[in-house]
Homo-oligomer: A and B are copies of this chain.
């Protein structure tokens, strides 16, 4: 069946005009019952499938959403993407996905191609929060929703996680357990999540009158390796921290590996909370306490916002969601035994 029937073939077989066929396949009504039946059976007989390309051509919309993530291998994103994909499909949209490896250059190329392909909207976690390299999208009037990372230089709908609040909760919890020497493994300070999670840490310390000790603030890059090294660094300190707060999932993993290597006893010698839930959290011993982000919801809301913007003609104001992460207390932080 190499032959691909077109709407014209259907029309011919059903002895009607292509306009009528079009009306039937689009459920527009205004077609006599008998005619419709004739058309439907012609469609079935020929195995006709309408060409979305031709349709897009005329309609000037592709029902395609472009997704840009910095690293699909980071377990956070598949969950977000899954939320997006599911919700989008419900609404009749499909997604084209690209991962930039955190490169703004790649990101710019992808944006170009997305425009070429006529995506109706884009959901992006950008590799460069200024957003200059994405300006093109904005100029074309293509709706954008920024997810997890904000875009600074122009206005777009945004779905963020309240990072400050999340890390505040985590650090506060550690403080209430009696810890004073609390270390943080930071993400890059030029990214919103990296910076904000540090701010939450700082604020918690301030609120409880604990001076910030620079030695306990280690810069990482959100990658596993840096979590690993940071932990080693902390271990080597004269005044070792009694608790560690890690700013993301990958660094948490690196940190765990280091703890095992160093035989630094989790929960006993050092308490721990990580930002982001990780697979391992619940079967490592002791189970890891974490700040968990609502990944699926994040994706779903992004689709909702984008959907509205794609389908409402008038101007919508910029909308911004700030989702609260949830502190999941498990077993990795104990009362500090070291007397003050």
Tell whether A29 is near chain B: CB-to-CB under 8 Å: no
Tell whether A51 is near chain B: CB-to-CB under 8 Å: yes
> Which residues of A are in contact with B by a Cβ distance under 8 Å?
1-2, 4, 47, 49-54, 56-57, 62, 64, 72-73, 75, 77-79, 81-82, 85-86, 89, 94-99, 112-113, 115-118, 139-141, 253, 256-257, 259-260, 278-280, 282-285, 287
Contact between B51 and A1, CB atoms less than 8 A apart: no
Q: How far is the CA of A260 from the CA of B284 in the complex (A)?
A: 8
In the complex, chain B residues whose CB is within 8 Å of the CB of A118:
51-53
Contact between B257 and A51, CB atoms less than 8 A apart: no
In the complex, chain B residues whose CB is within 8 Å of the CB of A141:
1-2
A181 CB, nearest partner CB in chain B, Å: 23
Q: State which of B4, B116, B260 has its C-beta within 8 Å of the C-beta of A140.
A: B4
A97 CB, nearest partner CB in chain B, Å: 5
Chain B minimum-CB-distance residue to A98: B85
Contact between B113 and A94, CB atoms less than 8 A apart: yes
In the complex, chain B residues whose CB is within 8 Å of the CB of A75:
75, 78, 279
Chain B minimum-CB-distance residue to A110: B89
Contact between B284 and A49, CB atoms less than 8 A apart: no
Given contacts A94-B117, A253-B279, 18 further A-B contacts (CB under 8 A): A1-B139, A1-B141, A4-B140, A52-B116, A52-B118, A53-B62, A53-B117, A57-B57, A72-B78, A72-B81, A72-B82, A73-B79, A73-B82, A75-B78, A85-B99, A89-B98, A253-B283, A279-B280
Chain B minimum-CB-distance residue to A139: B1
> Would you list the 5 A-B pairs with minimal beta carbon distance, nearest first?
A280-B280, A256-B283, A257-B283, A52-B117, A52-B116
Contact between A57 and B53, CB atoms less than 8 A apart: yes
In the complex, chain B residues whose CB is within 8 Å of the CB of A287:
260
Chain B minimum-CB-distance residue to A295: B73
Q: Which of A2, A4, A78, A118 is the most central at the interface, judged by chain B CB atoms within 10 Å of its CB?
A: A78
In the complex, chain B residues whose CB is within 8 Å of the CB of A260:
283, 285, 287
Q: How far is the CA of A86 from the CA of B284 in the complex (A)?
A: 33
Q: How far is the CA of A49 from the CA of B47 in the complex (A)?
A: 35
Q: How far is the CA of A279 from the CA of B250 in the complex (A)?
A: 10
Given contacts A79-B73, A94-B96, A260-B285, contact A51 B253 (CB under 8 A): no
In the complex, chain B residues whose CB is within 8 Å of the CB of A57:
53-54, 57
Q: How far is the CA of A203 from the CA of B47 in the complex (A)?
A: 47
15 example contacts (A-B, Cβ-Cβ < 8 A) are as follows A1-B139, A49-B115, A49-B116, A52-B116, A64-B96, A72-B85, A73-B78, A73-B79, A85-B97, A94-B98, A94-B113, A95-B98, A253-B279, A257-B282, A260-B283
